[in-house]
Amino acid sequence: MDNLENMEQAQESAVKRIGVLTSGGDAPGMNAAIRSVVRSAYRRGIECVGIRRGWAGLINGDIFPMGGSDVSRIINRGGTVLYTARSDEFRTEAGQAKAAATCKLLGLDGIVAIGGDGTFRGARELAKHGVSVVGIPGTIDNDIGCTDYTIGFDTAANTAVECIDRLRDTMQSHERCAVAEVMGRHAGYLALQVGLAVGATAVLVPEYPFDFDEHVAEKIRRARLSGKTNYIIVVAEGAVSAVAVGERIKSELGLDPRVTILGHIQRGGAPTMKDRVMATRMGFEAVQMLAMGKTNRVICAVGERIVDRDITEALEMKKTLNPEEFVVMKAMTGV
């Protein structure tokens, strides 16, 4: 053990100070990841600074030192204490050069960037200016190709399930149909998992072309023939307009649906145990990568393992809906 610790200290000696930021859409569990980065750095004798408002904050020098007391009691909080923003300036070569100059001025030996694909692309560009970077996947959509899991997904899914369970109570009481729209502009992971969990009559995702008769009308008819008098339709926002689906249900099936768009309520709230644990493990691994002198890495979940991948390779990887889950969903809907 002593030899291992000596090896770690030898590897880490070149890294004195790192920064951590959150970028893109916020996700429950980001604070747990920030906490983990700060405390893991402290354990290794590395200073850590917080960068407010993502890449824009790095350009503007919106930075402050972070210690143990700064991350106390944030593991249970939703959102991000570092705030988040998108930066058009950082998309330019000049903006990236400014951000790199800030790192040089403040003696930052590396950056841990928490966010989605856009955040990782920004990190990769910053690395071209000589800054060591490691990315941690944080998005409620769970749509990053290189990782099986992204921070925030479990909390968002549970929030949506709780809301739709409440909708079901009133739909049963009035024998009505509810159309519930969840987030997922380009990906249906959230809608698919939530639909399975709430026993939805139909689930619409952007990965499959929308056909009202096949995917909604026939599902409701089959459910009615089996004795049901209330129906839950779960729609990913990128699949089709929930309002349009509700209008067609009314005009073509003669039902009186209620449309509920859950929206940004899915982003907030205390993270679940899974999100807290995954965020903590990923934050620890991110600091370890920088301490070992590694750069251009993304921390990923492969099953229950935490691994790291090259950032360019990670950005090229694609992700599709789990075909087994989709088959199960089709079998469970409309009955």
Q: Is 145 within 8 Å of 318 (Cβ atoms)?
A: yes
Residue 331 lies in a domain: no
**Number of domains within the chain:** 2
Spatial CB neighbours of 113, under 8 Å, sequence gap ≥ 6: 20, 21, 22, 23, 119, 120, 122, 123, 133, 134, 135, 136
Do 66 and 78 belong together in one domain? yes
Do 11 and 138 belong together in one domain? yes
Question: Please, which residues bridge with residue 261 across strands?
Answer: 181
Residue 333 lies in a domain: no
Burial of 246 (0-12, 13-18, 19+ CB in 10 A): buried
3-state DSSP helix/strand/coil % of the chain, to nearest 5? 50, 20, 35
- Calculate the alpha carbon distances from 29 to 110, 218, 325 in Å: 22, 39, 25
Do 21 and 133 belong together in one domain? yes
Do 243 and 159 belong together in one domain? yes
Do 147 and 184 belong together in one domain? no
Q: Domain of 263: which CATH number?
A: 3.40.50.460
Q: Which of 22, 313, 324 is nearest to 147 (CA)?
A: 313
Q: Domain of 128: which CATH number?
A: 3.40.50.450
Do 88 and 137 belong together in one domain? yes
Do 67 and 119 belong together in one domain? yes
Domain that holds residue 288: 2-152+271-316
Do 110 and 167 belong together in one domain? no
Q: Which of 167, 149, 182 is nearest to 266 (CA)?
A: 182
Do 197 and 277 belong together in one domain? no
CA–CA distance, 6 with 293 (Å, rounded to integer): 16
CA–CA distance, 288 with 10 (Å, rounded to integer): 13
Spatial CB neighbours of 261, under 8 Å, sequence gap ≥ 6: 181, 237, 242
Residue 255 lies in a domain: yes
Which residues are annotated as catalytic?
141
Residue 44 lies in a domain: yes
What pTM was computed for the model? 0.93
Residue 326 lies in a domain: no
| Tokens found for residue 48 | 């850590």
**pLDDT tens-place values along the chain, 335 residues long:** 444 554 455 454 589 999 999 999 999 999 999 999 999 999 999 999 999 999 999 999 999 999 999 999 999 999 999 999 889 999 999 999 999 999 999 999 999 999 999 999 999 999 999 999 999 999 999 999 999 999 999 999 999 999 999 999 999 999 999 999 999 989 999 999 999 999 999 999 999 999 999 999 999 999 999 999 999 999 999 999 999 999 999 999 999 999 999 999 999 999 999 999 999 999 999 999 999 999 999 999 999 999 999 999 999 999 988 888 889 988 898 77
Do 52 and 113 belong together in one domain? yes
Do 58 and 102 belong together in one domain? yes
On average, the pLDDT of the chain sits at 94
**What single letter denotes the amino acid at residue 145?**
G
